[in-house]
Each structure stands twice: as structure tokens, then as C-alpha cells.
Homo-oligomer: A and B are copies of this chain.
């Protein structure tokens, strides 16, 4: 499973022949893979808070959809000559801390976290896609399919707030906390991973975001988060 495949690599985009770009792509795929795996584990854990078996299954299926994205990412890292599990190691701490700081205390906090996490991840993949070679872009974007599970989570949250309006205030604060923690950990990753950051801000021969563009990307992600929170009836 973890064998390097030089022949297959040769078939990939020319962009990947640049070692610095390639290192950045391995970093990016690794952080996405560990992000999906840890999201899977936390969603299954959070599903225990479900008020019914039906809801427990729905969250488990949302988790299963995250898990299914991991193997193709691992296969690609291997194909690029990387060690998938070693590549994920630098991201454990940031993602594990994100989850430790956003452990939901009840079912609705769990649903909001699932919904926000899923949507934010999706937005980030779409933002980053523009800076990737075609092969990597296809792989990253292929996992961005609007899931029926996220829609289900949104429906449940709306219904719960309609039935119990004060819940909306608590969940609005909760959504803000999740977003804040996500930004904190993202900045930490950006600060620690030179290859990834160098890629994001581009190079002499490759367009990238400058730091101002990077800042604008974070602003857009935050704005979309706020819009979604409003749609749920939560003031972010």
C-alpha cells in the first residue's frame, strides 16, 4: 500500500516535477487526509449524543462519507513518492487540538460542528483548487460533493431552534467558537509548514496568492461561514 511508483508519477502533471511544488502538494494532501480521518473519528464519537438511533445512524453515515475520501488521498501521496502516514504526522497536533477544543457537549452542538466543519472544509477545497495542477485539483475537488447528510444536519438544527428559540443563541456562540478555533489552527499550520505556505504564496515561476490574497481568502471563508450561520437562524 505504501510503495512508491515512479512510472505512474511520470504520467502526472509536469508541475509535479518541481520538487518544491510536489512537497507542498504532499503536505496539502496529507493535511486533508488526516483532517478527514480525524473528522470521521470525532463524528462517530459525537453520534453517541444522538437522541435516536436514526439520528445516530445519520451522523455515522456523514462520518463514513469523510472516511471514504481518505484512501484516494493516501494512494496519491504514495504515487508522488511520499510516505502517507509520515506525511500526516506534522498535522496531528493542530487537528487533534481543534477537536479537543471543540468537543460538543450535546447533540445539537455536535450537529452544528458537523455542519460547519463540513461546509468550511468544502469552501477551503474550492478556494485552494485554483492554485493546483489539474490532477491534484481533480482529486481535491472530487471529494467536494454536496452531501445529503449536511443538508439533513441543517434541517435538524433549524427545526430544533424553531422549537426552542433560546437554543439559537447558544449555538450561535458555539458556531463562532468552532470558526475561531479552526482559524487558530489553520494559522498554526501555515506558520509551521514552510513548503505549504511557500506554495500558497506562490513562487517566481508560479502564480500563487500573495499574503494579502491569503488574507482575503480567510476573509471569504469567514464571510461564507457567517452567511451559513444566518441561514440556520444563528447570528454569527
Residues of A within 8 A of B (CB): 1-2, 37, 40-41, 44-45, 47-48, 52-54, 56-57, 60-61, 64, 67-68, 70-71, 74, 85, 88-89
A–B complex contacts, Cβ < 8 Å, 26 sampled: A1-B54, A2-B54, A37-B53, A37-B56, A37-B57, A37-B60, A40-B44, A40-B60, A41-B47, A41-B48, A41-B60, A44-B44, A44-B45, A52-B85, A53-B85, A53-B88, A53-B89, A54-B85, A57-B70, A57-B74, A60-B67, A61-B67, A61-B71, A64-B64, A64-B67, A64-B68
A2 to B2, CA, bound (A): 43
Residues of B with C-beta under 8 A to A1 = 54
Which of A41, A68, A89 lies at the interface centre, i.e. has the most chain B CB atoms within 10 A of its CB? A41
Residues of B with C-beta under 8 A to A61 = 67, 71
4 shortest interchain CB distances as A-B pairs: A44-B44, A53-B85, A64-B67, A54-B85
Residues of B with C-beta under 8 A to A60 = 37, 40-41, 67
Residues of B with C-beta under 8 A to A37 = 53, 56-57, 60
Residues of B with C-beta under 8 A to A89 = 53
- Nearest-Cβ distance from residue A77 to partner chain B, whole angstroms: 12
Which single residue of chain B is at the shortest CB-CB distance from A33?
B57
- Nearest-Cβ distance from residue A228 to partner chain B, whole angstroms: 24
Residues of B with C-beta under 8 A to A56 = 37
Residues of B with C-beta under 8 A to A70 = 57
Residues of B with C-beta under 8 A to A85 = 52-54
